[in-house]
Amino acid sequence: MRPITAAAVAGLLLVLPGASQSPGERVARAVNIPVAEWREMASGHTLTYRIDGEFWALEHYYPDTDRVTLQLYDGQCMEGTWDYEDPLYCFHWEGQGTSCFRHARLDGEILIVETQNGSDTALTQTMSGVSDTPLSCGPAVTS
């Protein structure tokens, strides 16, 4: 077996999309999703989000409103509203404050990129599913 040379590794990095890019460089290439397209996809649906491949949350967008419910991986739910000011989708959670994100496409994925003070942060979620299944939020069942 021949050893792999530095030139071979460099050549491989040139042909693999995104292989030599940092996560920040990848996110910078992502194309923002227009609000009309997001509304059409999300309204009346529940979206699934992952961070680093692990389930993070479900988010339900109520049809024809700005209302949204977020159910975190541990079952905790938050109620809020959302609005859009190009290019940011901002979520105003009851008792929790506001969080803003860019919703963008990159290489067939939908990325949800947290922003603070107008700049992307390192926190990026991947939207991994859209369903018609409603959330089941409420107090824990006890017997």
> Is 16 part of any domain?
no
> Is 9 part of any domain?
no
> Is 142 part of any domain?
no
> Is 103 part of any domain?
yes
Write the CB contacts of 124 (distance below 8 Å, at least 6 apart in sequence).
23, 27, 51, 111, 112, 113, 114
How many structural domains are present in the chain? 1
> Is 13 part of any domain?
no
> Is 56 part of any domain?
yes
3 state SS of 41: helix
pLDDT tens digits in sequence order for the chain, 143 residues long: 333 333 333 333 333 344 445 656 777 888 999 999 999 999 999 999 999 999 999 999 999 999 999 999 999 999 999 999 999 999 999 999 999 999 999 989 999 999 998 888 889 999 999 999 889 886 655 55
What pLDDT was estimated at residue 18? 42
> Is 74 part of any domain?
yes
For residue 116, give its domain range. Answer: 22-83+91-130
> Is 39 part of any domain?
yes
Evaluate whether 27 touches 111 at the Cβ level (below 8 Å). Answer: yes
CA distance 141 to 95: 23
What pLDDT was estimated at residue 143? 56
What pLDDT was estimated at residue 23? 59
